Amino acid sequence: MASSPYQRRIIDDELDELSLALPAISLDGIKGVGKTTTARARARTVRRLDDPAVRELLGADAPVPQKCHLA
């Protein structure tokens, strides 16, 4: 099954501008909003730090647990 073409998001214009000035960009947000799709559509390299083998290879610390806000 072929994947559908990338649908630009509101943040893409800002990412286009930032990518000219920064060597790396981290996308953070709630599940299911398109962070991975956005990164894969524009990046030459994607490092998935949720993969323990990649984290170990890069010498990164374990991911910080998600913050929980109770009302």
- DSSP per-residue string spanning 14-53: HHHHHHHH-S------STTSSHHHHHHHH-S----TTSHH
DSSP 3: P
Q: Which residues contact 55 (CB under 8 A, 6 or more apart)?
A: 49, 61, 62, 63
Q: Give Cα 44 distance to the centre of its chain.
A: 13
Q: Per-residue pLDDT tens for 5-62?
A: 888 988 999 999 998 999 888 888 999 988 888 988 888 877 778 888 888 888 856 5
* Better-predicted residue by pLDDT, 19 or 66: 19
| pLDDT of 66 higher than 80 | no
Q: What is the pTM of this model?
A: 0.56
Instruction: Look at residue 12 and give its three-state secondary structure.
Output: helix
| pLDDT of 64 higher than 80 | no
Band of the pLDDT at 71, cuts 50, 70, 90?
A: very low
